Chains A and B, each alone.
Chain A
Amino acid sequence: MTDASAAIAAAFHEEWGRVVATLIRTTGDWDLAEDCAQDAFAQAVRSWPRDGIPHRPGAWLTTVARNRALDRLRRSSTEAAKLHQVAALQPGGGSAGRPPGGDDGDGGEFPDDRLRLIFTCCHPALPLDARVALTLRTLSGLTTAEIARAFLVPEPTMAKRLVRAKNKIRNAGIPYQVPPPRLLPQRLTGVLAVLYLLFNEGYAASAGEGLIRESLCLEAIRLARALAQLMPGEREASSLLALMLLQHSRRLARVDAAGDLVTLGNQDRARWDRAEIGEALGLLEAIPPGPPPGPYQVQAAIASCHATAATPGDTDWATIAELYTVLAGLLPSPVVDLNRAVAVAMADGPAAGLRLLDALDPAGLAGYYLLPATRADLLRRLGRRDSAAASYREALALAPSGAERRFLVRRLDQVTSTG
């Protein structure tokens, strides 16, 4: 029983998206595809503990789901065209009436349609929040209620968002396909952005917000891993997976017992997840040298500099500073410039970092407490205590709450204490 339960749980993660993707291709009906996938898993729950786990769970589930779709389409005479489509896709032909055996699927090979599904869910003609929700619903199999909880919106709101997205796909004729090569780079960038947004939604949440947010990170990693496997030649796809793994590897060390965030330099590196770091480094090493790296590859390289430093003092800040310079060229942003200044300060000393900070355009960072906080820290290290105190006060006026404020207050006390 526990074996079957574990197999079903694993199959859900591995196969849900595949089953839905195939059913959407064969029926053209997103709701029918989801319903039939649901039915197939329900049947697995009933029959696997009794009949044993099929050798190829994915083929078994797809066969059951497809037969279920056939049954439902047969009953509705108005769907003659769809029925024709499903019937035409009987693998080997003529096996329609055969119930799935307890030992295996029917031996039919189903092509992996998940790439079509990812690109359709992330089509730029859909609103961004709908892309994210639809990806989680159709590829990951999260329920509407789970997605609603993860994004802190009421369930009816999320249900409406999903219905609207599916309506737009149908009414506007958004094609169910991987985009042609000339559109692929741009569209892939869009897909990667959706997956990274998903990861960050989960990762940025503080510890108190519970398991569902952590599961967003895991879903994002699962999807990125699937994408990297489906598009083995795309360096940015495997780089995004590596970047997520490197960030995720620090999840246990980045929050202390009180739930406060712990900065990178103060984390207990023994609590970093070595398996995830190893997988990420392997992915990055496997990328062949070639054209200049994309933004995810550079960000993953920065994260790997941190991941491979045994202690904060071993961090290769000079390389990190160089990588931030490259990143600033790819993704110009004041936050990237700020990070570059921090890295230069670590590599070449606080005075060099301060020069870069002073050259930053403050307009892009207005209201961002880390700008005065960083300046304060550099001034403190240069022994300019009065200027440092002024910057700490400026940062405190902007700092969000909790841990960040407590940290700044401690530093301010340090630089204003006599002696």
Chain B
Amino acid sequence: MRYVLIHVVDGDVELGAAGPAQVHADSGIWLEEMISRGVSQYGGRLRPAGDATTVRVRRGEVLIADGPFAETKEQVAGFDVIECADLGTALDVAARHPAARLGGIEVRPLWAS
């Protein structure tokens, strides 16, 4: 099954001096393993929510709004598309990503086709 891991982190999270570098390094280790296992299909880091634009269409009219879909303290920071046997494996894979320590990772199955 294919799942999307949506990295949700607190926008105010303090990484500390060694934080960002450590998280970056840990993400690299995670990605390398998941690619070699054939788990990771695609993924990426998102620029801050302030750079987001949301599009809605209402009554045929395109409404453009500055900012992310939901104005909350927690924001989507990145995502990975993974291929796993089942949710048990997907949760294991997600738990090992550093974003799970910083905030949380939403594990969402993709429609089959």
Contacts and interface: CB of A to CB of B under 8 A. Distances in A.
Which of A123, A173, A180, A183 has the largest number of chain B CB atoms within 10 A?
A173
Interface residues of B, number: 12
Interface residues of chain A: helix, strand, loop or mixed (majority) = loop
Contacts of A171: 109
Interface residues of chain B: helix, strand, loop or mixed (majority) = mixed
B44 interface: no
Nearest to B88: A175
A33 B4 CA distance: 30
A interface, size bucket = 10 to 19
A125 interface: yes
Contact of B109 (A172, A175, A177, A183): A172
A183 B84 CA distance: 18
Contact of B1 (A173, A177, A183): A173
Contacts of B91: 125
A179 interface: yes
Nearest to A177: B88
A177 B86 CA distance: 11
A247 B84 CA distance: 44
Contacts of A125: 87, 91
Contacts of A183: 88
B90 interface: yes
Contacts of B84: 173
B85 interface: yes
Contacts of A172: 87, 107, 109
Contacts of B109: 171-173
A1 B84 CA distance: 53
A16 to B, nearest CB: 26
Nearest to A169: B87
Which of B1, B85, B86 has the largest number of chain A CB atoms within 10 A?
B86
Nearest to B92: A183
A328 interface: no
Nearest to B2: A173
A121 B66 CA distance: 42
A61 B91 CA distance: 36
Interface in A123-178: 123, 125, 171-175, 177
Given A125-B87, A173-B86, 8 more contacts: A172-B87, A172-B107, A173-B1, A174-B86, A175-B86, A175-B88, A177-B88, A180-B88
25 contacts: A123-B87, A125-B87, A125-B91, A171-B109, A172-B87, A172-B107, A172-B109, A173-B1, A173-B3, A173-B84, A173-B86, A173-B87, A173-B90, A173-B109, A174-B87, A174-B88, A175-B85, A175-B86, A175-B87, A175-B88, A175-B89, A177-B88, A179-B88, A180-B88, A183-B88
